Amino acid sequence: MLVTVGGTIASGKTTLAKGIADRFKFKHLSAGEIMRRLAKEHEMDITEFSKHAEGNPDIDHKIDEMQRELVSRYLDEGYDVIIDGRLSAYFLDPDIKVWFYTPLDVGAERIMKRDGYGREEAVEKIKLREGSEKKRYKELYNIDLDDLSVYDIVLNTGKWSIEGMTDVVAKAIEKYALK
C-alpha cells in the first residue's frame, strides 16, 4: 500500500506520516526532508532554497526522481509506504491521497516552535515559500495546489490534534486494506 500526505507549510504532514508509519509499520519518506537536506548542502534555509529552485527546475526534478526511486524500491521489497510531500500524490500512484491545510496563524506558531523564528518572520517565510512553490509547480508541472479534487481526504489541521488526524487517516487505511 502507498499513502501520500500533502499539505500546506507547517500543516503537520511529516508528524502525521511518522505516526502512521509507527502505527502500521510502514516505511516513511519525506520530500520536505529531502529538500531541507539539499538546502543545507547549498548553505540555505528552506525558504531561500525554495526561491533558488524557481530558476533551477533540475532541483524539483531531482526531488521527484528521488521520491519515485525510494518508493519503488520499498514497494518492490514488500513494504507499505507513507510519503509526505506536496506533490507526491501527482507523481506516484497512491492508494490513499491525503491533504492537510492549516490556517496561517497556526502554521506560524508551528514554525516559531520548530525553527525559532518570531511571529512576523514565520508568517513572512510561509507566505514567501507558499508563493514560490505555487508559482513553480504551476510553471513546471501545470499543477494548481489550490485544486484539492485529487485528494481522498482533506483535513484542517488547525482543528484537529495530531492524534485525531492520525486516527482519521488510520481508519481510512484500515477500511481500504479490508476492501
- The phi, psi pair for 153, rounded to 5°, reads -130, 130
CB count, 10 Å around CB of 38?
18
Q: Which residues contact 125 (CB under 8 A, 6 or more apart)?
A: 47, 111, 117
Helix (H, G, I), strand (E, B) or coil at 3: strand
Residue at 179 is within a domain? no
Residue at 174 is within a domain? no
With pLDDT > 70 as the criterion, what percentage of the chain qualifies?
Answer: 99
Residue at 173 is within a domain? no
- Using pLDDT thresholds of 50, 70 and 90, give the confidence band for residue 152: very high
CATH number at residue 77: 3.40.50.300
Domain of 121 in residue numbering reads as 2-167
pTM listed for this prediction: 0.89
Judge contact between 91 and 67, C-beta under 8 A: yes
- pLDDT tens by residue, 63-102: 889 999 999 999 999 999 999 999 999 999 999 999 999 9
Pairing of strands 2-7, 27-30: unpaired
Query: Residue 178: pLDDT above 70?
Result: no
For the chain, what is the domain count?
Answer: 1
